[in-house]
């Protein structure tokens, strides 16, 4: 059962993904970053299909707040997280 997905939730998930992907190794251990992304992915994959679609639909707007590789990551986040 899907409810309206608040874009701020998508934004928060994007912020976490950008942090994990682009933080230097001295800030976060790369293995730990991968583990957290895998757990985030597994949890989000539990959403129903309509919620996954709503999440995906929010990504272009959220990605527009980033530049370069960060924007590319956010744009592809549904795919990266295995939601499509």
With a cut of 70, say whether residue 3 has pLDDT above it.
no
C-alpha distance from residue 44 to each of 25, 51, 63, 74, 84 (Å): 25, 10, 18, 15, 11
Task: Quote the pLDDT of residue 19.
Answer: 98
Average pLDDT, the chain: 94
Supply the pLDDT for residue 35. Answer: 98
- Segment 53-81 shows an average pLDDT of 97
pLDDT at 52: 95
**Cβ atoms < 10 Å from Cβ of 13:** 19
Q: Can you give the pLDDT at residue 5? A: 84
- Whether residue 1 is predicted with pLDDT greater than 60 in this model: the reply is no
Phi-psi region for residue 31, left (φ > 0), alpha (ψ -120 to 50) or beta?
Answer: alpha
């Amino acid at each position: 059962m899907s409810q309206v997905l608040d874009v701020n939730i998508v934004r928060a998930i994007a912020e976490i993904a950008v942090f994990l992907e682009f933080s230097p190794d001295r800030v976060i251990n790369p293995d730990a970053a991968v583990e957290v992304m895998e757990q985030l992915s597994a949890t989000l994959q539990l959403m129903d299909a309509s919620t996954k679609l709503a999440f995906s639909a929010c990504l272009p707007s959220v990605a527009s707040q980033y530049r370069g590789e960060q924007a590319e990551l956010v744009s592809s986040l549904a795919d990266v997280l295995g939601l499509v």
